[in-house]
Amino acid sequence: MISKIHCTAIKGIDGFLVSVETDVSAGLPTFSIVGLPDTEVKESKDRVASAIRNSGFSFPLKKITVNLSPAKIKKSGSHYDLAIAIGILSATNQLSENAKEKISTSVFVAELGLDGHIKPASGILPMLMAIKEGKGKQINSVFLSYDNLNEAIISKTQPFCPISLKDLVYFLEGNLTADKLLNTTAAISNEEEKLEVHGLDFSEVKGQSLAKRALEIAAAGSHNILLSGPPGTGKSMLAKRFNTILPPLTHDEALEITRVYSVCNLLGKTKFMDERPFRDPHHTISDIALVGGGSNPRPGEVTLAHNGVLFLDEFAEFSRASLEVLRQPMESFNVTISRAKESVNFPSKFTLIAAMNPCPCGHNGQAERMCRCTPAQINRYKGKISGPLLDRIDLAINLNPVKYGDWKKLSEGESSTNIKERVVKARDIQVERFKNSKTTANAFMTNKEMKQFCKLPDDAGSVLENAMRKLGLSARSLDKILKTARTIADLEGEPDIKSSHIIEVFQYRTMDRKGVAE
Ligand SMILES: [Zn+2]
């Protein structure tokens, strides 16, 4: 006898419906799963057999074949357990006709413990959203673990959360009422573990007004920025406060982030990702961990930083391979991982803050301290940041140490709240500007949008032309300069880019002078 049960799968951060077909026939006792399952799915067999037996049902000593359809898409994860178990119970007539009718319009997404307990799975949010969006029109009920309830609530799904396989069957047979399975009293709280940014403020950083202004522009237009300077100049102190001046997330942005964290199983038990992520991987990270990959493709740091910030401290210490793989996500705002059978896409629209020393010892160009590096060492160090990578960075500045005598005299800096107010105003202008487009900030403008929104009056045009001739700028540099100038104009509430805006941009373009971190 054959049964057909609905389940879901994940590709990238998108969910879709899968059917679990189970055939139980006479023959030597075997249990096989087909339809491109990975090793994690194959392990399902042992869990399902134990769970069925330990729940008081009988596990058939027959030839069992489970097909996960459509077969062309790779299946991974442990969440097929429940659907497979229900499929076997149905195919071996351990369920009544009434129960079988109920399951024909239900989806089952959970892992099973050996004792039959129903356990949570990763990626529930995008899977439920796929069902909601009508990718599974015939679905009336969703069964999942109580521990995934928060994701169900975010996706506005009202699921059934049985504790065990046994309870679930009781319910399907009409021997247990729905209120025993549903726990709608669970409150979603966002109280626990807040991001590290809390309690930090820009006012704590004294001096470095050029860097602060550059970071304000970066926040206002979502521009990538490179901070270069000796140790102790406050590079990471500034970077760690960057999130405090970013505009709040829209609901859609927050939902996108929550989907990513759901797939990565990084969602706290009751947490909706309503803050911009700040990811700061160590420079020893592998290129796969940075951009994603693996035989069963997983998102990397660039995707975990989606709609937020990727901070790469000691930028020149990252391996050349890691730095080179950053180029694609920075260019296309998503990561494509191609495998023989399929290719997977992950979003990666982040703002990059890179920080580096001017040389391996860190003291090059300083009057007070001697640099011990040879010119060859310095060249090799700076050469790690290749031209094409540098082309994807909009702003680059040098930070100089603040002398102790000067530092004592400096008053407290401007608060994050004040800076954020200006950033939000500038972003509001951009939201209005791009209301009919997918673009969300100036840094992401398409060529067509640049033609429309970055027109230069004559005087500004000639300032730019002169600079281009003198510095021999590439077309890509020109784009970055125009986008950044657009953001400065927005911060001033000016409808047109003026020559003063173009001139200001050149203060944050050390890369156009003498290579990186000159
Ligand atoms: Zn040095």
Q: Is residue 44 part of a domain?
A: yes
What span, in angstroms and rounded, lies between the C-alpha atoms of 35 and 17? 14
- CA–centroid distance, 370 to ligand 1, in Å, is 8
Same domain, 291 and 261: yes
What span, in angstroms and rounded, lies between the C-alpha atoms of 101 and 373? 76
HSE-up (13 A, CA, CB side) for residue 51: 30
Q: Are 30 and 68 in contact (CB under 8 A)?
A: no
What span, in angstroms and rounded, lies between the C-alpha atoms of 231 and 211? 15
- CA–centroid distance, 119 to ligand 1, in Å, is 55
Q: Give pLDDT tens digits for 54-88.
A: 999 999 999 999 999 998 888 999 999 999 999 99
- CA–centroid distance, 408 to ligand 1, in Å, is 27
- CA–centroid distance, 228 to ligand 1, in Å, is 13
Same domain, 112 and 246: no
For the whole model, what pTM was predicted?
0.86
Q: Give pLDDT tens digits for 125-171.
A: 999 999 888 766 678 899 999 888 888 888 888 889 999 999 999 99
Same domain, 149 and 298: no
Q: Give residue 74's pLDDT.
A: 86
Same domain, 169 and 215: no
pLDDT at 235 over 70: yes
CATH code, 338: 3.40.50.300
Q: Is residue 186 part of a domain?
A: no
Q: Is residue 373 part of a domain?
A: yes
- CA–centroid distance, 320 to ligand 1, in Å, is 20
Name residues whose C-beta falls within 8 Å of residue 450's C-beta, 6 or more positions apart in sequence. 479, 482, 483
What span, in angstroms and rounded, lies between the C-alpha atoms of 175 and 179? 12
Domain span including residue 465: 202-514
The pLDDT-based confidence of 225 (bands split at 50, 70, 90) is very high
pLDDT at 268 over 90: no
- CA–centroid distance, 391 to ligand 1, in Å, is 25
What span, in angstroms and rounded, lies between the C-alpha atoms of 216 and 512? 21
Proportion of the chain above pLDDT 70, given as a percent: 93
pLDDT at 187 over 50: no
Q: Give pLDDT tens digits for 391-432.
A: 889 999 999 887 766 766 777 789 999 999 999 999 999 999
Q: Is residue 195 part of a domain?
A: no
**Based on the structure, what is the number of domains in the chain?**
2
CATH code, 132: 3.30.230.10
Q: Are 258 and 267 in contact (CB under 8 A)?
A: yes
pLDDT at 517 over 60: no
Q: Are 118 and 125 in contact (CB under 8 A)?
A: no
pLDDT at 364 over 90: no
